[in-house]
Amino acid sequence: MDFLGSIVFLCLFSMGFCQESMNINHLDPDLLPRPLIIEFSESRLKNMSDDIAIHCTSWRVAVEANNLSPWKTIPKECADYVKDYMLGRSYNVDLEKVSKESGIYAKSLQLKGDGMDAWVFDIDETLISNLPYYSDHGYGSEFFNNVQFDKWILEGAAPAIKPSLKLYEEVLSLGLKIILLTGRNENKRNVTITNLKHAGYHKWDKLILRQNDREKSAAAFKSEKRKEITEEGFRILGNSGDQWSDLVGTSMATRSFKLSNPMYHIP
Amino acid sequence: MDFLGSIVFLCLFSMGFCQESMNINHLDPDLLPRPLIIEFSESRLKNMSDDIAIHCTSWRVAVEANNLSPWKTIPKECADYVKDYMLGRSYNVDLEKVSKESGIYAKSLQLKGDGMDAWVFDIDETLISNLPYYSDHGYGSEFFNNVQFDKWILEGAAPAIKPSLKLYEEVLSLGLKIILLTGRNENKRNVTITNLKHAGYHKWDKLILRQNDREKSAAAFKSEKRKEITEEGFRILGNSGDQWSDLVGTSMATRSFKLSNPMYHIP
């Protein structure tokens, strides 16, 4: 019986031990402190990523609401966020929204029909996209390199921003004059025309590029040009641009539309 | 043996049936078509909720970027989204961001020190919050009811927007004159003063309320008042408001700051 008793004890002991091992392997969060620490870390990680998403969305909305001072690169911690935004559905949904809103407004206009009703479009990140370039340059997390960017521009390969092409076609079919006003330098005129045509933009009344007057802000340059346009008799009823410097200043359009761009800022 | 055979057959049959029932109850997605349909629905639901989040964020950004035509209520499908935004961390993070950016700008200013440097603040959803009212009225998903809203205003119980109180104190301490410019009616002057003081705002140079001139847009009213202010000799260096109609038009501030507000729109 003593021997039998020992065997039974051993059996029960191993079963108990086995049970305890299983508990450890399960890492029951209600029983052991270790899983609670793991849970805490995981929850911190989750919160961290929530924090980043909230912080970077807040930053992006501040960009779109024109609340920020001039900035040279996107915040470091938002590099992945901006990449996800640009490559995911959100950027395109935003572009479609602004195109749709602009179209509704354009169609609501009572045009005078004297050929002086006009819509101003910016070019880069408004009609055509440099996303292929920026995808090779950190989506705005690298400092702007104008030599490399010029190389890309000279390829003339920037694709159309499809929702903007749709708006352009609507605006054109309504009988508004199209005025293209860009910060691109005059020496890029030919490649810009080639690129625009290749992307599906075939008609415009004016294509205004910039002389070598870089001491002036883009907002000042574009205000000045809008003034000249209105002095010619044009009524600028709409203006589309991805930079606030495309839209604000003087001789502003009756309505301006800000296309999303969290990758770079031009004052 | 025949009887015993029948019993064994019955047992095996029931076990098999039982096994099949269990499979159905488990709804093994790899075995049956039905769970695949359920999976499809679940994935649709998940996508739908992603779609809603992307769509409503896009709508909210369009509000903040001033891309929308006048709207009377938030889109129905965004009711929960806006509620989550207002009650979650995002709204407060956005308010803190705009307060911080405004503060950085205010501190960077070279003031003339002649007592004519000024900062214009809107009141509702800028200095004080009507969130307690809107939380009882669907966060912007109900049509605006001015009788009920006036009742709330007359309680004088709107709490301070803390990040704006911080900015107000900074702007005040820098020596700028504070001008409060609100669409509230002149007959709310006393309760507005009581409410502002109760919320921590104790000093301002002007409190401009509105006469009974409701045919004018808020943007026109505020532009007119800013014109009068500048004609008095004030330089409006900053302007904070939750509506674009607080900020745009004529006699605009050197810099304007748009506080987030997806609940309502005042043209």
pLDDT digits (tens, 9 = 90+) for B145-156: 999 999 999 999
> What 3 state SS string does A57-123 have?
HHHHHHHHCCCCCCCCCCCHHHHHHHHHHHHCHHHHHHHHHHHHHHHHHHHHCCCCCCCCEEEEECC
Q: Of A11-15, A31-35, B157-161, B178-182, which range is least confident? A: A31-35
pLDDT over 80 at A20, yes or no: no
Q: Is B92 on the interface with A (CB under 8 A)?
A: no
Q: Which two tokens stand for residue B49?
A: 């909720």
Residue, of B1 and A243, whose pLDDT is higher:
A243
Q: What is the model's pLDDT at position A253?
A: 97
Supply the pLDDT for residue B48: 53
Q: Which residue has the tokens 């921590």?
A: B200
pLDDT at A39: 40
Domain boundaries, chain A: 1-31, 49-258
Taking the CB of residue B215, how many other CB atoms lie within 10 A of it? 6
Which among A54, A98, A104 has CB closest to B69? A104
The one-letter amino acid code at B176 reads L
Contact flag B61-A66 (C-beta cutoff 8 Å): no
Angstrom distance (rounded) from CA A58 to CA B163:
15
Residue B138's alpha-carbon distances to A70, B25, B48, B81, B263, in angstroms, are: 37, 41, 22, 11, 9
Condensed to tens digits (0 to 9), the pLDDT of residues A176-217 reads 999 999 999 999 999 999 999 999 999 999 999 999 887 899
The first and second tokens of residue B262, run together, are 């997806």
d(CA A89, CA A17): 53
> Comparing C-alpha atoms, which of B216, B213, B208 is closest to residue B266?
B216
Rounded mean pLDDT of A33-42?
38
Strand order in the sheet with B235-241: B206-210, B177-185, B117-121, B235-241, B255-258
Mean pLDDT of B237-248: 98
B-chain CB neighbours of A90 within 8 Å are 54, 57-58
Of A217-226, B7-16, B66-75, B129-138, give the lowest mean pLDDT range: B7-16
Neighbours of B93 (CB within 10 A): 18
CA–CA gap between residue B167 and residue B106 (Å, rounded): 9
Whether B59 and chain A come into contact, CB under 8 Å, resolves to: yes
Return residues 235-264 of B near A (CB < 8 Å).
256-258, 260
What are the chain A neighbours of B66 within 8 Å (beta carbons)? 65, 256, 258
For A164, residues 6+ apart whose C-beta sits below 8 A from its C-beta are A95, A99, A121, A126, A127, A240, A259
At residue A48 the predicted structure's pLDDT band, cuts being 50, 70 and 90, is: low
Q: Where are any strands of DSSP class E within A97-231? A: 117-121, 177-185, 206-210
Query: Which tens digits make up the pLDDT trace of B160-204?
Result: 999 999 999 999 999 999 999 999 999 999 999 999 999 999 999
Architecture of the domain whose range is B49-258:
3-Layer(aba) Sandwich (3.40)
More reliable by pLDDT, A207 or A40:
A207
Residue given tokens 């891309």 in the structure block = B67
- Residue B67 sits at the chain A interface (C-beta within 8 Å): yes
Q: Please, which pLDDT band fits residue B23 given cuts at 50, 70 and 90?
A: very low
Sequence-ordered alpha helix ranges (H) in B76-139: 79-87, 89-108, 131-135
Measured CA to CA, the distance from residue A177 to residue A175 in angstroms comes to 6
pLDDT at B211: 94
Query: Does residue A35 register a pLDDT over 70?
Result: no
Token pair for residue B24? 């159905």
Identify the band that residue A47 occupies on the pLDDT scale cut at 50, 70 and 90: low
